[in-house]
Amino acid sequence: MSISASQWGSPLASRRALLIHGLTMSSYSWEGLAQLLAAEGFFVIARNLLGHAGRRGSDYRVSAFAEDLQPYFATDTYDVVIGHSLGGMVALSLLLFLPKEKETTVILVDPPLEAPRGPELIKMRLWTG
């Protein structure tokens, strides 16, 4: 049996979070963080990417993962989107679907990206901790 997504908190909550797991993970990998966010008043959704947690898939490009998540943006907006590893790359692909009229915090956890150096770094707002 395939579980397409995990959810925590009340669907009536005023704040929403979308969590995108990494390559060798599933929506269940977010359990601890999702419970903390739900306790802070968020409705949290973590979708299982194609080819994960029993979901079938044949196209494993980042763009295919992002397309699979697009329906989540058709009716909902999110206060925060968090992507871990591969999920970080997918989160970046979803930036085009974020509403322009609402600010959304996007957090990338250990994404497989090369950090810019020199003048390009100055143009980015980075937080490290």
pLDDT of res. 113 = 73
| pLDDT given for residue 80 in this prediction | 95
Count of domains forming the chain = 1
Q: Is residue 61 part of a domain?
A: yes
- DSSP run (H or E) holding 31: helix 31-39
At 21, the pLDDT band (50, 70, 90 cuts) reads confident
Average the pLDDT over 29-33 and give the result: 93
Q: Is residue 88 part of a domain?
A: yes
Residue 19: exposure state from Cβ atoms within 10 A (0-12, 13-18, ≥19): buried
Query: Residue 121: which H helix or E strand, with range?
Result: helix 119-123
- Helix H or strand E encompassing 65: helix 62-69
Q: Does the structure show a pLDDT above 70 at 118?
A: no
pLDDT for 64-115, tens place per residue?
Answer: 888 888 888 877 889 999 999 989 989 998 988 888 888 899 999 988 876 6
Within a domain: residue 40?
yes
**Range in 37-46, 48-57, 111-120 the model is least confident about:** 111-120
Question: Buried b vs exposed e over 45-58: b needs ≥16 C-beta within 10 Å?
Answer: bbbbbbebbebeee
Q: Is residue 128 part of a domain?
A: no
Q: Specify if 129 maps to a domain.
A: no
Has residue 51 been placed in a domain? yes
